[in-house]
Amino acid sequence: MFHVRHLSGPHFGPIDLQLAPRELLCLYGPSGVGKSQLLRALADLEPHEGEVQLADVPQQAVRPTEWRRQVAYLPAESGWWAPRVVQHFAQPPGIEALAALGLTPDILEREVDGLSTGELQRLGLLRMLDQRPRVLLLDEPSANLDPESALLMEARVLRYLDEARAAAIWVSHDPLQRERIADRSIELKAREAA
């Protein structure tokens, strides 16, 4: 479904990997080895070399905006540009979608500036899933969450992968989390200096 061949950037690679539908791959490694840069390259947000394909269609054959809708990147801190939460959704999430992440419907009418980092991260996931992507690129999505909220996020992502037959790459420094959610894990190591 998702194929990566000889992908490299200034701080990572070359990397080869494949993801099947419903597969969750965890990435881990020390700070500065290029985990975030790798995810950004996969989303076509960062200069890179190599091949990335979704369902045998090369990244460069797809308009960048359409690629990013299908191969969606959730950064460690999501961007918010409008004052109220509801303004960030084409279709506001329903009560069940919010509750699955420990949120209540009143959060949609709140000001973005008044929310915690953890609330924003969970809303960022909902905003991403609203686009129905085929590949999720998750950059430490639960790093700012309490343990209960982290478990809710894990469950929501796994359920989405199953329902949508999507795949995900999740950056996590937590070995227990990787054990809970990953079909497999890859350690990214620092490149050797030339």
Joined together, the tokens standing for residue 70 give 């299908």
Rounded Cα distance between 171 and 131, Å, is 21
Joined together, the tokens standing for residue 63 give 């308009």
Rounded Cα distance between 5 and 186, Å, is 15
Domain ranges of the chain: 2-187
2-187 topology per CATH: Rossmann fold (3.40.50)
194 residues of the chain, pLDDT tens digit each: 999 999 988 888 899 999 999 999 999 999 888 899 999 999 999 889 999 999 999 999 999 999 999 999 999 888 899 999 999 998 899 999 999 999 999 999 999 999 999 999 999 999 999 999 999 999 999 998 999 999 999 999 999 999 999 999 999 999 999 999 999 999 988 765 44
